[in-house]
Amino acid sequence: MIKPSVSVFFPCFNDEKTISQLVRGAKKALEKAAAKYEIIVIDDGSTDDSRGELSKLRREIRNLRLIFHRQNRGYGGVLRSGFKAAKYDLVFYTDGDGQYDVRDLELLFPLLTPDIDVVNGIKMERNDAWYRKLAGYGYNFLVRNLFNIRIFDVDCDFRLIRKTKLQGIDLGCSSGAICVELVKKLQDNGAGFREVTVHHYERKFGSSQFFKPKRLWQTAIELIKLWTEIYLK
């Protein structure tokens, strides 16, 4: 099996307690699985010491690239920066909060066969508060049916994607709605999908940026706009 070239990126917002472990874990996985690789961290205006941690880490890891947003651009803004910066054939991303196990990245590569362009995670067990689990199941059910999405876990941000399939896609969402937009546009662009179960852990540090009134409202508005653009254009 020919080893691929891989760009891995992590969105980071106030993740000083978890981001170093994720980067080191990605490096270890990529050294075994990839011919060439880069690791990119996009800090989205953190107010803790994430940037200090990352600056120290850059001296340790040669293949680490850092992108610092002056102002918070939201989850969608971070993903757009990551996809734009990625230079290798395969692009992987997951969140910087440590709820996913970056070592599961090794499970994804063998599944990327010639007819598969995206390998998407499914949370083995969602380790969140009950209300977040309930909201997550409801959200997934809603967007799968509204947008005719054919994967099960739309909001599992543990994805390996062929860069060629990203090149014909224009992403515009700034909120968490970008996950729906990304999957839908990849699907409509002819991408083949495969899913695999991955570990999901309880958040140990910080708090979710998604479950806040302003973020929820922004996501709802962007989903309505996205649906309108796709189905009523």
Q: pLDDT tens per residue, the chain (233 residues)?
A: 689 999 999 999 999 999 999 999 999 999 999 999 999 999 999 999 999 999 999 999 989 999 999 999 999 999 999 999 999 999 999 999 989 999 999 999 999 999 999 999 999 878 777 677 787 888 999 999 999 999 999 989 999 999 999 998 999 999 999 999 999 999 999 999 999 999 888 777 655 555 566 778 899 999 999 999 999 87
Q: What is the predicted pLDDT for the residue at 205?
A: 67
Q: What is the predicted pLDDT for the residue at 147?
A: 97
Q: What is the predicted pLDDT for the residue at 201?
A: 83
CB-based contacts of 1, cutoff 8 Å, min separation 6:
110
Q: What total number of domains does the chain contain?
A: 1
Please work out, in degrees rounded to the nearest 5, the angle formed at the alpha carbon of residue 222 by the alpha carbons of 217 and 227.
Answer: 130
Residue 24's domain is classified under what CATH number? 3.90.550.10
Measured from the Cβ of residue 152, the count of other Cβ atoms closer than 10 Å reads 12
- 128-136: list long-range contacts, CB under 8 Å, 24+ apart: 128/202, 128/203, 132/208, 132/211, 135/211
Domain extent at residue 132: 5-231
Closest CA to 177 of 121, 220, 141, 231: 220
Q: What is the predicted pLDDT for the residue at 125?
A: 79
